[in-house]
Amino acid sequence: MDVKFNKFDPEFKKLTSNVNNLRNNNTTFTEGCQVTNARLESISNTCDRIERKWQVKNDKLENHIDDELKTLKEHVLEVVDNTNIFATHLARSDSERQKLKNEIIAHVDEINKNYEPNSHILRNSTPSTDENIL
């Protein structure tokens, strides 16, 4: 079925006007989309730049935190080492003191064997007068 339009028919003019309006609207819409897309691209680029800047700052902050944690760990290990050294020294000192005490007692016992009359003086007190001195 073939439809013929008369250019001067008001309905044809109205239809033609609507088609032209749609074309104009489509063009305007397409241009608006292009502008919007350009703006979105610009916003996206700005976001990317901000993200890169924050990533750099974040990396620097993480590195700084890592450095601080490393330093803190070194200090803690140093304190632990010093504590272990001190504890070892105390233990060694106790054993050395016990050894020295045992040697002194053995030496006093040896003296007491040789000088039986004054053994109680040597073992239990320090001499305070000339007669207590061997």
**Residues 59-105: pLDDT tens digits?**
999 999 988 888 888 888 888 887 777 777 776 667 777 777 788 78
**Residues 23-57: pLDDT tens digits?**
888 888 888 889 999 999 999 999 999 999 999 99
pLDDT number for residue 121: 46
Q: Which amino acid is at 68?
A: E
**Residues 97-119: pLDDT tens digits?**
777 778 878 877 777 776 555 44
Q: pTM above 0.75? A: no
> Taking the alpha carbons of 30, 31, 32, 34 in that order, is the dihedral positive or negative?
positive
